[in-house]
Amino acid sequence: THPAWMENPYVKVDTVAADYLLRKGGEKKFNVKTLRLGPLTKRGFYLAFQAQGACMALLSVRVFFKKCPSLTRSLSIFPETIPRSLVQEAVGECVRNAALLGPKARPPKMFCAEDGQWVDQPSSSCTCSPGYEAGPGELECRACPAGHFKLSPGAGPCSPCPESSHTGEMGADSCVCRPEYHRAPTDTLDMPCTRPPSPPHTLFPLINETSVTVEWSEPVDSGGRSDLSYSVECQVCMTASCTPCGDGVSYRPAQRGLTARSVSVWGLRPHTNHVITITAINGVSHLSGQGPASASINITTGQHVPVLVSGIKRSTATESSLTLYWPIPTHTHYNILQYQLRYCEKQERGAEEHSCRYKESTNNHVVLSDLRRATAYEVQVRARTPSGYSVFSQAKSFRTLPDDVSSSSLLVTGILVAVGMILLIAVIGLAIYCIRKQNRLKDPELSDKNGQYLMGQGVKVYIDPFTYEDPNEAVREFAKEIDVSCVKIEEVIGAGEFGEVCRGRLRVPGKKENYVAIKTLKGGYTDKQRRDFLSEASIMGQFHHPNIIHLEGIITASCPVMIITEFMENGALDSFLRLNDGQFTPIQLVGMLRGIASGMKYLSEMSYVHRDLAARNILVNSNLVCKVSDFGLSRFLQENSSDPTYTSSLGGKIPIRWTAPEAIAFRKFTSASDVWSYGIVMWEVMSFGERPYWDMSNQDVINAIEQDYRLPPPPECPSHLHQLMLDCWQKERTARPRFANIVSALDKLIRNPASLKITAHDGAGPSHPLLDQRSALSSCSSVSEWLRAIKMERYEESFIQAGYTSILLVTHVTAEDLLRLGVTLAGHQKKILSSIQALRIQNKSPNNILY
């Protein structure tokens, strides 16, 4: 041994003895003794064994120690630690991109036990740095992804960039503003970026000899901020140039920092031209390199106060309207150009001006509509002359009627109207009786002969603008003229037959600003093109239905001529469906179809035949409401159109793939031909905008239809809907359902969504042939023969027991009836329903499984 054995340097730890007595030839047994040495006070030690003559052998000795491995936990890293006692304290450090939170924070600590295991949770104040967030299990701090940021250290996650800001880098602690957007010095980095406001608009001056009061409406766009204020500038224009008004002019309540939308400018020169400029300002206006958001108005002060209007009186009142008039001022040197009324709910006087509304009139009477029931309104009127506006008259109060007063006041009128109606009905009934005697054999079907749309026995509902001797008279009667200053074009969104289609804003005084679609008539047009262009407005202006596109008005007093309609955010239905292929459920698609059918039901009741019903002529708004549009008839009258959708036929252009066979062959357009087109629209919707008949030529389509071939069901199309399509495509127009029947059928499907789960076989592609609707069952004279012909004889007993003993009775079977008969397999249901539909066509039965 080394050093040599000595009793003193060594310390006896334990005595090791054999636990077992071994016999020669017996089983060998070993015992193991584990000893704990320490604690150590030096860098090493000697280990010695002293034998005292025992009959035993030391077979092996293993010397080892235990340690706690390195560990990452709670965003802290702890090193490998050897316990020198029962428990050893270990000091760690924060992981990368993490730091101690707070100036007095202590380093992370954890304890290592003598058995080499870490004890409990660490004591750590480590948090991720700005731009980083804790990863899973708090093992690391990872960088915020692009488009996200983290402003300060802490345990929180990264956040998306505030509105109108962005970052393209990872690990961002803030986001930069997008072009034209800014943050005010007082804004924090986690606040949205904002921009300067748009100019104020609708400036109204009130002028007298040496002062003017200007009122205005707030900007359309506040820039996303609430710290909006206004400043006022005055210029005097004596010659071709204008100069500031100078110190002699005062502003009330102030020139800058205005929060109310009204200011009075005093000390102006009499009978002089002035320019008053109102500028909208917010907290980031000074950071923008653009010019101020201002609006100006030219005024001329007068030597005399303009004419004063007074004496407003009420002629009639209802629950929602007031009819007012006033005497025309006399003894005035001014020509009155216009009157302006300001009316406010009485309890709101003293509120902000936007609670009041304005209405202009060129006459000395006006009707105020869209008012609250049983509410008092204070009304003022003023005149506009070449010298400007006069002061408003003294306010007078008028009240709309409550329900009971309105009812009682109209009772006598109602009785008189009822008596008159009874007499009128009696006269009309007598006339109809006489006409029927002369025309008993005439077809009462809807007719479009000579452009006159008539219903029943000649009662005219829809008025064709082309029947007017002067078509402009129809435009004036059915379309409202809009001042061009109320319309602002923002962007071009498409092109029409006559010119561009734009999106813009319409702001009519007293009404909320809203987006509109604007059709323009391109330059160089002929009188006929202008007449054809405006004819759509005179047609559209006669319709008022939630599923018909709404006409806002027209602009004919300036160039270009425009038609203004409501704006439909999602555009044409066919392109919208292709863009969202497979994104809608069957019940949503049926809801769209129901809206289109409802609009067409309204048009048919108005005796209007659309002629061009297709998904491309259906518009969709942001709420997925579908509205029928495109009421122009010119495409059917012109041969020089280059659109391949429309093909020449008997002197006009018609859309072959959407048009009924009798309309193609004989130009017989009726509501029944619109029903055929609606069936094609159904197919377009359920196929998410697929082109009908795919790449077949128009002539091939005509030949296939004449041979009784029809479109197959689109993929995953409910059987009920395809059956309804086939009914719409019946060759005999009298066998097709009416739009009222179609709306009723779709309502039943909506109320019973489970019926939409029965789908037809997949089709709708060039690789799938058209369905042959020609009868292959003409030889079947009994139910048994019919079931055997379609290989469904297993259900023969069920049909007979249920009372279906003839082919005629079978044609009335519905999908629900099949379930009651025990036909539960979807494939068998489809096969039987398809055959029943063929039987209906064979028997020319107008019944439909959904009606």
DSSP-assigned letter for residue 756: G
Closest CA to 68 of 54, 84, 53, 56: 84
Residue 12 to residue 727: CA distance in whole angstroms: 108
Active site residues: 612
Going by their DSSP bridges, the two strands 176-177 and 459-460 should be labelled as unpaired
The token duo for 463 is 């008025």
Distance of CA 641 to the CA centre of its chain: 34
Residue 191 to residue 163: CA distance in whole angstroms: 8
The token duo for 252 is 């009330």
Residue 511 to residue 254: CA distance in whole angstroms: 29
Gyration radius (Cα) of the chain, Å:
44
Task: Dump the DSSP string for 618-661.
Answer: EEE-TT--EEE-----GGGT-S----TTSEEETTEEE-GGGS-H
519 known ligand binder: yes
The token duo for 834 is 């398809």
Instruction: Work out the angle between the directed axes of helices 719-728 and 826-843 (0-180°, nearest 10).
Output: 10
Pair 570, 576: CB distance under 8 Å? yes
Which H helix or E strand runs over 409? helix 403-409
Pair 594, 750: CB distance under 8 Å? yes
Task: Provide the 10 A C-beta neighbour count for residue 663.
Answer: 25
Pair 394, 379: CB distance under 8 Å? no
Residues 6+ apart with CB under 8 A from 394: 310, 380
Residue 39: is the preceding peptide bond cis (ω within 30°)?
A: yes
Pair 791, 832: CB distance under 8 Å? no
Pair 581, 764: CB distance under 8 Å? no
DSSP-assigned letter for residue 186: T
Residues 6+ apart with CB under 8 A from 265: 211, 212, 213, 214, 232, 234, 245, 249, 250, 251, 276
Which H helix or E strand runs over 432? helix 411-438
Q: How far is CA 538 from CA 284, 476, 557, in A?
A: 47, 8, 16
Q: How far is CA 563 from CA 136, 484, 554, in A?
A: 59, 11, 5
Terminal Cα-to-Cα distance of the chain (whole angstroms): 111
Closest CA to 681 of 646, 707, 655: 655
Helix (H, G, I), strand (E, B) or coil at 279: strand
Closest CA to 446 of 844, 738, 744: 738
Which H helix or E strand runs over 797? helix 796-801
Annotated binding site: 519
| Binding site per annotation, positions for ATP | 519
